[in-house]
Structure 1
Amino acid sequence: MAEITDTALQGTSKSPNTITLQEFNNRIKRLLADPSVMNCWVVAETTDVRINQHCYLQLLEKNPKTGATVAKIKAIIWGNQFRFLNARFKQVTGRDIGNDMKIMVCLSVNYSPQYGLTVVINDINPEFTLGDMERQRQEILNRLTQEGIIGQNKTVPVPPVLQRIAIVSAAGAAGYGDFMKQLTDNKYGVCFYPCLFQATMQGVKTVPTVLAALDKVEQNQHLFDCVVIIRGGGGTEELNSFDNYDLARRVATFPLPVIVGIGHERDITVLDYVAGIRVKTPTAAAEHIILQAANALAHIGDLSNQVVSIARDYIARAKEQLSYYAGNLPIMAQRIIDTNTLRLQNFIQNIPLHVQRRIEGENAQLARQKDAIKNAVAQVKMKETMRLEALGDKIELLSPRKVMARGYTLTTCEGKIMTDAAQLEAGKLVTIHFRDGKVVAGTQSVIKDK
């Protein structure tokens, strides 16, 4: 490193005029006293919220298309003012001031020469945040409506009795405990078969763990009648996770009926709009299931009473009929005997007449059959005679004598009829048959036609 000499120092220009740091800070303070940076209403998102007597936070502005942060500044709400503003904010929105909120705040810039620059929140508009929350919820509902699935789970058939229940909740949650106690202690003595699929029911893990639980239920859907998603009461900010599109879509398209009981009576989430059955609280969910089973039991009881009543009426009518038959049995028996006796006498009297008629009928049929046989034999005889005559004529026409009468001869050799010159040999004796005789001749040679 080069050494800086006294000569080099002597060669520098004269030092400029200086001011104190306090004076510099006062100049900044005077610049920041501009009214344009006092009591300005600003819309921003919150992050890194910390409460330690005062409320410290960062305000962000993001690009609506890319989500990238385009502006960021630290701010503070002084202790007394924070308690007042937070109480008013919670009264309107149901939530404490926290992270990941879109808020409208009144900002001022304060500058202290001792402590530096401070952005102070003087006021907040909770109605703006409430409107933004409702806007996000309405956007989800509109999207589900456009996709045609918002009411799909409401069309899933609900069994008459919901006994095999898949529960999505946190094991140690008070809402889950209330639900189970209500279910097991029901006054009707109905036996239910609940199965817990654990999930985180508040915070950033709510959506992924509830979705994972629903996936497990769907893999075993044949084992269950319905799904119950329950969570006890709490701050409204703890229920914001249920205003989620992916979760709402999963519930809307779930193949089993979904019962949602989240929060208190005043709390409404997107899941309440898409679930097949919406109740106010976990306890109300259990009451709904118990009431449905009780109605089924009452219906069965009504059917049983109807069966008993019908059976009693039937037995009473049967007894009356039996008494009637018992009283009239001797008279009816005598009437039957008298009637059958009369019929028997009529049969006996009519037997000779019936026999005579039967014999006459059979004789007439026998005569008809005899005539038919004679006619059939005559027809067969005539047909066979005509057939034999026709055959005789054909044989006569085909007789060799008839053929020879027309000038043809028949040649035999050694008792065999010769039909081809190739059958003969020179020197052989042949017999030539004529119509009126025969000639024996010898063959000198055999000449075949080409």
Structure 2
Amino acid sequence: MVSLDVPEKGKLVTTAESASTASVQELEIARRCPCSPNAQHIEFQQQGRPVKVTLTTLTPDAPVWAVSSHADIRTMLTDMRFSADREKQGFPFQVDGQPGNFRRTMISMDGAEHRDVRRAVTSEFTLKRMKSLQPRIQQIVDGCIDAMLAGPKPVDLVSAFSLPVPSLVICEQLGVPYEGHEFFQTRSHKLLLRGASAEERLRALDELLAFLSDLITKKEAEPTDDLLGRQIVKLREAGTYRHEDLVRMAFLLLVAGHETTANMISLGAMVLIDRPDDAAALRADPRKIPVAVEELLRYFTIAEFIPTRVATEDVELGGSLIKAGDVLVALCNVANRDPVVFPDGNDLDLQRGARHQLAFGFGAHQCLGQNLARMELEIVYSTLLRRIPTLRSAVPTGDLPFKCDADIYGIHEFPVTW
């Protein structure tokens, strides 16, 4: 691997300087080791500042900076000079490369526009509302485990448990019939699969949006007592309701609400299987599970490349001069191992309590559903430990098919027995 030029301490690195004094590397995306950041990203972090890279699969022409320190990423996600708006000149478009064809959701907005859209739905994800959902989530988890225990062994944990639990939860919360789970799960999978063509991903996106548009049209005629139905009533009363906006909101919540949690369920279960002493300690004292969940979120950081920004003006960040129009990609996986914030960060310590981890992002765009995700994971792990104490992998966990080819990291299939 070609080493990048590292200027004297205190000197700003500009796009032109880094391009002329060093061979600019293509940013590697795939993880080489299931439980470690990409070695290239570790090298970038050791540079001590954002590093100029190329990313031809996403932004073939725009200058790109890989941001790898915990502090720099927090700045990138809070400084309004780094825009999340996909309509800004130079922003990387992850589906088809065409600004006019990109369907913006609130994660693609800035400032007051983002605040207003997010505020409209924030009340649906408060801690108080999440606590009211806890008994139903427990029922869903127990129901999936009942079905597993009643069936033949081995069983694929992903299809029998990891996917159904968050899918059922988000379907009930949004008011999406669970009968359509196979439809939206296959489209979500295709949309997040890096190996899929632009045409395949666009087709999956269009089909998901059409599915949700039809559903919301029905709810408009007769609003239901669920998140989508309540949004229709609330926004109509405020005079701000737009069908297309709610469709995009539903798309974001549906895909994010089951894909991310499903993958964390599988990865966390793998850890508990591989570390029986930790599993025994958590089984003996379930009060420690929330702390363990934070560490698992930090350690795996499954949405590694989701935070992407474009500079709207020249900005200094961590010793590098980011020019207006340059793209920034946050390497959150390696940032969650930053030794300045997480000593011995390459070690998985389920008693660490990594509350400053970046798995949910940071700042105004921090994951809206993080309270729900945490609660689901806590219920899932505590119930698995209690109800299936002999859970074990049917194959060596090192041989599992990890999702190195997807935008959300996880495990494709996970055969387990007990």
| TM-score normalized by the length of structure 1 | 0.26
More strand by share: 1
Higher relative contact order (CA 8 A, sep 6+): 2
